[in-house]
Amino acid sequence: MAKLQHVIEAQQFTLPLIHELFQTADQMEKILERGGTLDYQNKIMASLFYAPSTRTRFSFESAMYRLGGKVISTEQAHLFSSVIGGETLEDTIRVVSNFCDVIVLRHTEVGAAKRASLVSSVPVINAGDGKGGQHPTQALLDLYTIYKELGYIDGLKIAFVGDLEQGRTVRSLAYLLGKFERVMLYFIAPDFLQIREDIQNYLTRHNVWFTLENDLSKVISEVDVIYITRIEKERFADKADIYDETVKKYFIDKDVISKMKQKSIIMHPLPRLNEIATDVDLDPRAAYFKQARNGLLIRMALLTMVL
Ligand code: CP
């Protein structure tokens, strides 16, 4: 099995590594069916979360328990750790890495996971860093979901919708998709929420086709995946009047999905706010709760690759 030192950004994953990760995740499904394993009973995972999380923290912690390991955790590290007394992230990581075999870190600052990895004596896994940073394990579970639901990634047509400027899941997934053949990425957002130039430049350098749009209806019947993300009101601070209009414009309901291909999927990293009507949940193309389930498998697989 390939050994990973740290999981910091999506770009670090090569195609062979992605395929191996998917195969390992498939094996984890079988391990789960047997109720888990005790293979990692001598290992300890520290989950250090400086920002709120439901899916990422619970799935990592569940993954570690299913592997037989143990978990030490702080879910509000900014309130319940020595950070409150002014301790730096670096010092916290130097100390915590004495007490565990892997650190899963969510932080409010872009680049925090990289900084942590430079001083940690154990592997660091980035569970989301800042707004506009990365969320590589989410992107890997997203990719795994696409692979399982559609059966292919090469040639995929995907529309990203929502806050693409700060959306770290979209940023990480764009990096991963850029490694595949003939993919077509449609970034659908108002100008001020559009995908940043760093991602555009990366895709251009890697000869990946993409386009910037603001109207989902123009592409909805062509794409295999709609990947929609939260649009937060705070992002419209000086444009409050157009928040409601924007949410309405990109809202996914039964009428919208009736224009999608029969073999296509709707994805969302969750939590959702006002992006998808709840009656869409019953449509077989709704994949967002499957993403959450696949997160457990991918995170079990990632833990086995770093431990
Ligand atoms: N998708 C995701 O990262 O969810 P949480 O913020 O609940 O971890």
Q: List domains and CATH numbers for the chain.
A: 10-134+295-306 (3.40.50.1370), 136-292 (3.40.50.1370)
Residue 137 pLDDT greater than 70, yes or no: yes
Residue 46 pLDDT greater than 90, yes or no: yes
Looking at the CA of residue 54, tell me the nearest atom of ligand 1.
Answer: 7
Looking at the CA of residue 59, tell me the nearest atom of ligand 1.
Answer: 8
Distance CA 213, CA 194 (A): 9
Q: Which pLDDT score, from 0 to 100, does residue 233 have?
A: 78
Give percent of the chain above pLDDT 90: 88
Q: Which of 270, 275, 289 for mutating ligand 1's site (highest number of atoms within 8 Å of CB)?
A: 270
Q: Tell me what the pLDDT averaged over the chain comes to.
A: 95
Question: Average pLDDT, stretch 113-119?
Answer: 98
Question: Average pLDDT, stretch 277-306?
Answer: 98
pTM of the model: 0.96
CA of 53 to the centre of ligand 1 (A): 5
Q: Which pLDDT score, from 0 to 100, does residue 75 have?
A: 78
More confident residue, 138 or 240: 138
Question: Average pLDDT, stretch 224-251?
Answer: 86
| CA 185 to chain CA centroid, nearest Å | 17
Is 266:252 a contact under the CB 8 Å cutoff? yes
CA of 270 to the centre of ligand 1 (A): 6
Residue 27 pLDDT greater than 80, yes or no: yes
Question: Average pLDDT, stretch 46-67?
Answer: 96
Q: Which of 65-69, 191-195, 243-247 has the highest mean pLDDT?
A: 65-69
Residue 81 pLDDT greater than 70, yes or no: no
Q: Which pLDDT score, from 0 to 100, does residue 77 have?
A: 72
Distance CA 202, CA 284 (A): 34
Site residues for ligand 1, CB cut-off 6 Å: 53-56, 128, 135, 138, 269-271
